[in-house]
Amino acid sequence: MHMDESVKTVTLGPSAVNQQLEVNYRHCGMVGKSRMLALKNLKNQIVKTWNFTDVNSKDATMTINVQDIVKGLKKNEDRVHLYYSSKELPGGKILADIVYQTQTVAAR
């Protein structure tokens, strides 16, 4: 678990599985080169990566399918960390905690 209080938590549920997550990250106003997003489990192991082509346009949105995030969760896991890295930031930076909550209704 990380200790950075500024990291946001994104909560996803079954209704979001067919949606996309868009990420925008800039280095001092510039788009990075050799950009990559990675999901890491709570043991800090990479479970999924996405590589993005270099762009020169203002729209440098990195889009990933929520379904791919859910597939990155192992059995009995409900949380992963989303990291960004690039040529300019090779060590990577945590962008968000992603929590997957199944919606269950208790029977009475």
Question: Which domains are delineated in the chain?
Answer: 8-100 (2.60.40)
In this structure, are residues 108 and 20 in contact, taking their beta carbons and an 8 Å threshold? no
What are the residue ranges in the chain where pLDDT is below 50?
Answer: 1-3, 105
C-alpha separations of 72 from 46, 89, 96 in Å: 9, 23, 15
**Percent of the chain as helix, strand, coil, to the nearest 5:** 10, 40, 50
What confidence score (pLDDT) does residue 73 get?
82
The type of residue at 64 is I
Q: What is the pTM of this model?
A: 0.84
What confidence score (pLDDT) does residue 1 get?
Answer: 42
pLDDT, tens digit, 9 for 90 and up, residues 21-45: 999 998 888 899 999 999 999 899 9
